[in-house]
Structure 1
Amino acid sequence: MTEEIRIIIAICMFAVAAFFDVKERKIHDIVWLIFGGTGAILYAVAFPGIIDIVSMAVGVTLASTFWFFRLYAGADALALISLSVILPTYHDFIIPLSMVVIATAISIVYGIIYNIATNSRTFLLDNKKIFVEFDESLYRRIAAFFLIHKRSKNEKFVFPAERIVSGRKKFRFRYDPDDEFSKDEAYVSLAMPLTLFFLIGLLGLILFIILPHISFGIDEFSA
């Protein structure tokens, strides 16, 4: 029963975080304190096992490493640390690590598909050339087709994907989580809220874990 409560707490935490992340691109620390604190209090009911402790260590290490190398913003790192406390394991799965893998894969695939669709529309339907203003090699232009696109008027949360080097315009494929969002008609990369992908990844992971057990129970009942 305690595990089910932890699942509900974790899902609610990411739902709240994703809501504020999408709406304001800012998550107040009180969110992590409330949900993470609630998860910690539950250990008074059931003490963590060795695997749980190892999973917490893995989650905290991942979050700290990603934040140190500026792959995650502070809120994303706190989200992963909070999850490590709330739901370190479930059915022998190390939840923080598994969720990060799934969420990262989803975000990468989504970004690539979005960029391909946007660039294809610009090139084929709008009959406009792309990347002509850049002084870049062919292979980097091909990579850019999958990684960046020209910002549309309705896009709010995107990072600049171009820079000037010695008077020449160059691609900027790597961004800093603390960058300011781009507001001009420049080439940009997506800055979709990572907590939204965390939520999707967690839901997908939980369903992946529990559905076989539900199916097995139904088969037994039918027999």
Structure 2
Amino acid sequence: MLAIGGFFDIWKREVHDYVWVIFGSAGAMLLLFEPFQMTALYSTLFALIIAPVAIIIWRMGLFGGADAFALIALAIIAPQITFSENMVTPFTTLSNAAILFIIPLLVNVIRNIISELRGENIFEGFEESTSKKILASVLGYRSKNPKYGFLIEKTEGSVKKIVLSFHHVDNEKFSQKSNTWVTPGIPYLLMIAGGFLIQLVYGDVILVGISNWF
């Protein structure tokens, strides 16, 4: 399910709802074949605590509807499943995915450092503070031909400014402007898939970290 959804999310940045309906329905039907049906049902209902949280995050625009439905379908198909001995919760896949979101930020930083080492003036025409330039270098990059990115610059007269504002995933269009600063529209389904794989083999990264710390 996550492989199919991730493929369409990368290719078209859109995943049809039938993917989640089909797999979620299949997961619900599998409950009929569970040897301990009531235990499995309670486990599934507990895992579905993620549903209202995912929907709220979606409506806030922090990720898309496909991401919310993927988390809900996962709760039905594989409620809190892990092959490790570490603890997991209904929110483990989501929290693991949030940690993986650090990777695109590191990619932005590396990309901008490489551009600077090549002698490119990535902030040409900008009048901004050093701190804001550093923040922009973490959250985005200067793209010659952005395809899936949200604009984070504006022009005031002859001066360019960095605009670090919230971008609603479902409502805001990708930038079509060339040679401009953008923050990449990350296919969050990839993070969810990664977070789920980490849950399977390791458990909850945050919970394990907290337990080891204390």
Fold conserved between structures, TM > 0.5: yes
**Secondary structure of the residue that 1:93 maps to in structure 2?**
coil
Q: CA deviation at 1:61?
A: 2.1
Provide the C-alpha distance between the structure 1 equivalents of 2:156 and 2:77, rounded to a whole number of angstroms. 46
Q: Which residue of 1 aligns with 2:133?
A: 141
* Higher relative contact order, chain-length normalized (CA < 8 Å, sep 6+): 2
Percent sequence identity over aligned pairs:
29
Q: Which of 140, 149, 173 is the aligned partner of 1:158?
A: 149
> Unpaired segments of 5 or more residues in structure 2?
204-214
Q: Which residue of 2 aligns with 1:25?
A: 13
**Secondary structure of the residue that 1:182 maps to in structure 2?**
coil
Higher helix share: 1
**Structure 1 residues 156, 97: CA separation in 2 closer, same or farther (over 3 Å shift)?**
same
Q: Which residue of 2 aligns with 1:215?
A: none
Q: Figure out how many residues of one structure are paired with residues of the other and give that number.
A: 192
Q: Which of 117, 121, 124 is the aligned partner of 1:124?
A: 117
Provide the C-alpha distance between the structure 1 equivalents of 2:21 and 2:158, rounded to a whole number of angstroms. 47
Provide the C-alpha distance between the structure 2 equivalents of 1:62 and 1:180, rounded to a whole number of angstroms. 25
Q: Which amino acid aligns with 1:30?
A: Y
Provide the C-alpha distance between the structure 2 equivalents of 1:20 and 1:80, rounded to a whole number of angstroms. 16
Which structure 2 residues correspond to residues 32-71 of structure 1 after superposition, within 5 A? 32-45=20-33, 46-47=37-38, 48-57=40-49, 59-71=50-62
Q: Which residue of 1 aligns with 2:81?
A: 90
1:153-178 CA-partner distances (Å, limit 9, x unpaired): 4x532221223568853323332202
Q: Which amino acid aligns with 2:74?
A: L
Provide the C-alpha distance between the structure 1 equivalents of 2:159 and 2:54, rounded to a whole number of angstroms. 36
1:93-125 CA-partner distances (Å, limit 9, x unpaired): 22x411111112112x22122111111121111
Q: Which residue of 1 aligns with 2:169?
A: 177
> Unpaired segments of 5 or more residues in structure 1?
1-12, 210-223
Provide the C-alpha distance between the structure 2 equivalents of 1:138 and 1:97, rounded to a whole number of angstroms. 37
